[in-house]
């Protein structure tokens, strides 16, 4: 699988992850949804980047 469809899929999920809690929680506006959106996105990116770093040749470190 190429990376582009997965990136689009992840972006769609993250956007919906922001919208769904915002729609469900009228009192807290979008703040909780935004926190979840950012937290899941940052964690996913951290895992992906760390995996790429670990897989590269040691000489490039």
Least distance in angstroms from the C-beta of 46 to another protein: 7
Give the CA count within 13 Å in the CB-facing half-sphere of 50. Answer: 6
Binding residues for another protein, rule: CB under 8 A, are: 1-4, 6, 9-10, 13-14, 16-17, 20-21, 24-25, 28, 32-33, 35-36, 39-40, 43-44, 46-48, 50-51, 54-59
Least distance in angstroms from the C-beta of 5 to another protein: 8
Q: At what angle do helices 3-24 and 31-55 cross, to 10 degrees?
A: 160
Is residue 61 classed exposed, middle or buried when 0-12, 13-18 and 19+ CB atoms within 10 A define those classes?
exposed
Least distance in angstroms from the C-beta of 48 to another protein: 6
């Amino acid at each position: 699988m190429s990376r582009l469809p997965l990136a689009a899929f992840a972006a769609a999920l993250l956007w919906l992850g922001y919208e769904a809690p915002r729609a469900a929680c009228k009192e807290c506006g979008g703040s909780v949804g935004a926190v979840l959106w950012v937290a899941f996105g940052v964690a996913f990116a951290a895992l992906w980047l760390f995996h790429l770093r670990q897989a590269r040749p040691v000489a490039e470190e």
